[in-house]
């Protein structure tokens, strides 16, 4: 993930996406600032939205089965389900919290969350004096999930005469899915090739958090 300034005075944030059987992952530049639909799985009732700013995510909201809610910001984490209303600070390390098909573990600025079959590890990073969140999404095999993080893994093949010439677009990106944030080489592709459909389908126009 890196920052760039476009002609319309918006930033782009560089996303990495793993590539099965390939030496280098793919990466693409996602426009910011916007509120994005990050994961959408209507069959299980799982929805994750986030506010992307110039360095990462400022706030993220998860809704599961219209009952379980998790709000993450760079300041704290709030969970509520009608019976429980809990607030955690990133610096504290409470024991594992579990109820029904929901579990959470907070440790070393990482919140490991499982809701149903979807697991996401949220990492709190600091860069140039600014804090931001980044999700490491771990989807079940063959999951049919939408959103900008709906494709946890891609396969690609460079074909002669293709519109995307991978050989000319090798760049570097920081992998914020890891606490060490290593810099990796990747093949830069247009985000349209990773996120099919209209760009507006991934934009959230309502308020993210109250």
Cα 176 to Cα 71: distance, rounded to the nearest angstrom:
20
Q: Where are the domains of the chain?
A: 3-153+164-202
- Rounded to whole angstroms, how far apart are CA atoms 180 and 111? 15
Does residue 30 have a cis bond before it (omega within 30 degrees)?
Answer: no
Residue stretches of the chain with pLDDT short of 50 = 1-9, 159, 161-167, 210
pLDDT score at 2:
43
- Structure confidence at residue 79 (pLDDT): 96
Angle at CA 169, nearest 5°, toward 165 and 171?
155
The whole-angstrom separation of Cα 66 and Cα 47 is 10
What predicted TM-score, i.e. pTM, was given to this entire model? 0.85
Q: What is the pLDDT of residue 152?
A: 57
- Report residue 184 as tokens: 């990796």
- Burial of 42-53, coded b for 16+ CB within 10 Å and e otherwise, reads eeeebbbbbbbb
């Amino acid at each position: 993930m890196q920052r760039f300034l476009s002609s319309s005075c918006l930033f782009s944030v560089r996303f990495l996406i793993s590539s099965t059987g390939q030496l280098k992952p793919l990466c693409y530049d996602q426009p910011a600032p916007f509120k994005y639909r990050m994961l959408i799985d209507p069959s299980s009732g799982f929805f994750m939205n986030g506010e992307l700013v110039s360095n990462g995510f400022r706030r993220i909201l998860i809704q599961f089965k219209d009952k379980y809610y998790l709000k993450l910001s760079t300041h704290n984490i709030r969970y509520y389900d009608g019976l429980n209303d809990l607030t955690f600070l990133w610096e504290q390390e409470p024991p594992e919290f579990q109820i029904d098909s929901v579990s959470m573990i907070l440790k070393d600025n990482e919140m490991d969350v499982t809701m149903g079959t979807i697991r996401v590890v949220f990492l709190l990073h600091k860069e140039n004096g600014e804090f931001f969140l980044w999700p490491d999404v771990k989807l079940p095999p063959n999951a049919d999930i939408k959103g900008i993080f709906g494709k946890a893994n891609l396969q690609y093949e460079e074909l002669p005469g293709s519109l995307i010439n991978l050989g000319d677009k090798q760049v570097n990106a920081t992998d914020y899915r890891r606490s060490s944030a290593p810099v990796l080489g990747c093949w830069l592709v247009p985000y349209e090739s990773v996120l099919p459909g209209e760009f507006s389908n991934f934009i959230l126009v309502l308020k993210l958090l109250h």
